[in-house]
Amino acid sequence: MTHKKPGLNTICTHVGELKDEQFKGAVSPLYMSTSYAYEDVEVKRYPRYFNTPNQQALAQKMAALEHGEAALIFGSGMAAVSTSLFAFLQKGDHVVLQKTLYGGTSNLVVEEFEKFGIEYSFAKDLSAEAFEHEILENTKVIYIETPSNPLLTVTDIEAVAKLAKKRGLVSMIDNTFASPVNQNPIDFGIDVVIHSATKYMGGHSDILAGAVISSEEKIDRIFQLAKNFGGSLSDYTVWLLERSLKTMGLRVKAQNENAQKLAEYLEKNELVKKVYYPGLASHEGHELAKKQMHGFGGMMSFELKDLDSQAFMKYLKLIKPSMSLAGVESTILSPAKTSHALLTPEDRAAQGISDKLMRFSVGIEEAEDLIADIEQALEETKKDMLDVRI
């Protein structure tokens, strides 16, 4: 009988773990050295070459989680994004990008690409036809992000992957919001999968990291640039990230369940104007999300009708107004002031990101406690409005 492939939590726990041959410890040993022997060895190890024992072991786990052949671990999500893009783009090339992207990625493209003679254009919508419309003779890469930050737009991964293959282009995706628990783009034909591992992979708001997963051939191409850019991750943080990944499946599934409950509650609340969550039937990408996602994720955004969103966030007691996302604790922020602050007001408006929009990262607390926190914050914000009118 052929044994089936290991399940998600088994991969999270065991794939890529280092064996403690000396003391037989239950967890991977940590090799802190930045200097290794170079004579009479199979591998000349150096942290900037992404090949220390802990780096290589974690890369195996990352690759297994995303159904890829190989992976690289970076010092941040943006290091992973920038190195991957520059690995396949050079002077005179062109890239087509999704319009609704993480603000840091958009800023990288707008602020830096022209300096290197790289052309770019943004698809006018999320359809494969819109991406194909922007393809030029010198186009080399198509780049998408789904679900997107912060409006949770959903792009057809398979359609974009097929378009890229038809036109001989490299397809890339930022899979951060979904995590490997909820979405595996390589299964739909995507070439390069990128993560801010700071988020769901780290999961505890204490690690900064990035990851890229692809074929051996494409990872080698990215590595040739990565070793020169120097964006590798320290082995101590690599070890911490490997530890955090062991519980990723459990954490993310709990966040999926909580987010669904919170989204349904918010959508029914008369004080809420709009909720953006792919798990809601009202979300325009809901049917597509059901097709390409295993779960709808722990991220959503919403707007209040007439209440001051900044005042509302200040009244929250359990949910933290805080930067970043995907920790076990629930957090909330204003994209206009944080993740998309680098964009111009016009660019944010074009993407549908209003100053009142709040991005909500749902944690693993009891859903009832999160709802109660929102309820009391709404009541306090309403009182403020009444006091002003009086």
| DSSP 8-state symbol, 176 | T
- The 8-class DSSP code of residue 17 comes to P
Q: List helix spans (H) across the chain.
A: 8-14, 53-65, 77-88, 103-112, 128-133, 157-166, 179-182, 216-229, 235-245, 248-268, 286-292, 309-315, 345-351, 367-389
Tokens of 320: 């933290």
DSSP 107-141: HHHHHHGGGGT-EEEE-SSSSHHHHHHT--TTEEE
Please give the Cα distance from 84 to 351 (Å, whole number): 24
Tell me the C-alpha distance between 343 and 118, whole Å: 20
- Helix, strand, or coil (residue 285): coil
Strands 94-97 and 139-145: parallel
Could you report how far apart the first and last alpha carbons of the chain are, in Å?
76
Rounded to 10 degrees, the C-alpha dihedral 322/279/210/4 comes to 140
> 47, 179 in Cβ contact below 8 A?
no
| Tally of helices (H runs) and strands (E runs) in the chain | 14, 12
Backbone angles phi, psi at 376, to 5 degrees: -70, -35
* CA nearest neighbour of 226 among 66, 42, 38, 82: 82
- Give how far Cα 24 sits from Cα of 18, 33, 52, Å: 11, 20, 20
Q: Which residues are catalytic?
A: 48, 102, 174, 199
Residue 9: CA count within 13 A, CB half-sphere: 6
Q: What angle do CA 282, 354, 96 make, to 5 degrees?
A: 80
286 bridge partner residues: none
Counting Cβ atoms within 10 Å, is residue 234 exposed (0-12), middle (13-18) or buried (19+)? middle
